[in-house]
Amino acid sequence: MRRKLIAGNWKMNLGYRDSEKLAKDISAKTGKKELDSLDILLCPPYVSLGIVNKAIKDTGIKLGAQNLFFENDGAYTGEISASMLKSVGCEYVISGHSERRTIFHETNADVNKKVRKTIESGMKPILCVGESLIEREDDIFEGIIEKQLTEGLEGITAELMKGVVIAYEPVWAIGTGLNATPEQASSVHGFIGNVIQNLYDKNTAEELVIIYGGSVNTKNAEEILSACGIDGALIGGASLKADDFTYIVKTAANIKQLVK
Ligand code: PEP
């Protein structure tokens, strides 16, 4: 059964102690109702994973990483492996975030290796897909997303898809304050479901958790999270404030049904 997921992507923000404080504040403001009805995930920078893990211990809030390198170990200066993330308590790893694709030139093939390594290591990948503004304006966005999904999920069986989360994150909506309308997001989530059904089967598509990311905040969360096919959110800016993040978590918990 699909469960809602609200994930905070802290990006390259907050030092060690500020990360600890934010994690503690979020857990203090999060109640049983929220934890029973959805998965809540914090993705701090690498250096704060350990302290955040400690701060959320036994709360039910989960820990995730923003990236990994797909090799097991070796001479890869500056990189972090899946087993390192697992050992510090990570259950999820974000792959293919648009900032990694654009700033660090990650290709669909790179993203695929990361997604596979995440699954192989017993964690859940959050595979981010989404179009740029030009791709939307040129009306080629569905093709772009289909390619990101097809190549990003290459070699992953229907059985393994049970642990995969897809995040639809239109690049033009990330950190810009310009969110996709609920209709735009619903339509792409439906399209992603169709692609997954074609790649796998109806059941895999129905069970797939597809979350939306792109300027979700306290003002638009209810409208976006109530829309058809939206199983949760990946939140950047608003996840850095305990009040805003927990407000969105509570909003999600109050939305009864997940509709596809
Ligand atoms: C993100 O980076 O995943 C994101 C959705 O950022 P923001 O909420 O700030 O747009």
pLDDT at 256: 76
Distances (CA, A) of 49 to 17, 108, 123, 132, 211: 11, 26, 15, 30, 23
Cβ of 128 closer than 6 Å to ligand 1, yes or no, is no
The atom number, within ligand 1, closest to the CA of 177 reads: 10
Cβ of 216 closer than 6 Å to ligand 1, yes or no, is yes
128 alpha carbon – ligand 1 mean position (Å): 11
Going along the chain from its start, the domains and CATH numbers come out as 4-253 (3.20.20.70)
Phi first, then psi: what are they for 192, rounded to 5°? -60, -40
Q: Where are the alpha helices (DSSP H) in the chain?
A: 16-29, 32-37, 49-55, 82-87, 98-103, 108-120, 133-137, 141-152, 182-199, 202-207, 221-225, 242-254
pLDDT at 178: 84
End-to-end CA distance of the chain: 12
Question: For a substitution probing ligand 1, which of 12, 171, 174 has the most ligand atoms within 8 Å of its CB?
Answer: 174
pLDDT tens, position by position, 18-42: 999 999 999 999 999 999 999 999 9
The atom number, within ligand 1, closest to the CA of 235 reads: 8
Contacts of 227 (CB under 8 A, 6+ apart): 182, 183, 185, 186
215 alpha carbon – ligand 1 mean position (Å): 6
4 alpha carbon – ligand 1 mean position (Å): 18
pLDDT at 175: 86
> d(Cα 94, Cα 166) in Å, to the nearest integer?
10
Which residue's CA is minimally distant from atom 2 of ligand 1? 236
Which residue's CA is minimally distant from atom 3 of ligand 1? 236
Which residue's CA is minimally distant from atom 6 of ligand 1? 236
Cβ of 248 closer than 6 Å to ligand 1, yes or no, is no
Q: Amino acid identity of 87?
A: S
Cβ of 214 closer than 6 Å to ligand 1, yes or no, is yes
Question: For a substitution probing ligand 1, which of 10, 11, 225 has the most ligand atoms within 8 Å of its CB?
Answer: 11
pLDDT tens, position by position, 97-136: 999 999 999 999 999 999 999 999 999 999 999 999 999 9
The atom number, within ligand 1, closest to the CA of 128 reads: 3
pLDDT at 259: 67
Contacts of 64 (CB under 8 A, 6+ apart): 7, 41, 42, 43, 90, 91, 92, 93, 94, 126
Kindly give the parts of the chain with pLDDT less than 70. 257-260
> d(Cα 129, Cα 212) in Å, to the nearest integer?
10
Cα-Cα-Cα-Cα dihedral sign, residues 41, 43, 46, 48: negative
Cβ of 130 closer than 6 Å to ligand 1, yes or no, is no
Cβ of 66 closer than 6 Å to ligand 1, yes or no, is no
Tell me the two tokens of residue 192. 């992603």
Cα 181 to chain centroid distance, Å, stands at 19
Is 45:14 a contact under the CB 8 Å cutoff? yes
Which residues are tagged catalytic? Answer: 97, 169
Is 239:64 a contact under the CB 8 Å cutoff? no
175 alpha carbon – ligand 1 mean position (Å): 5
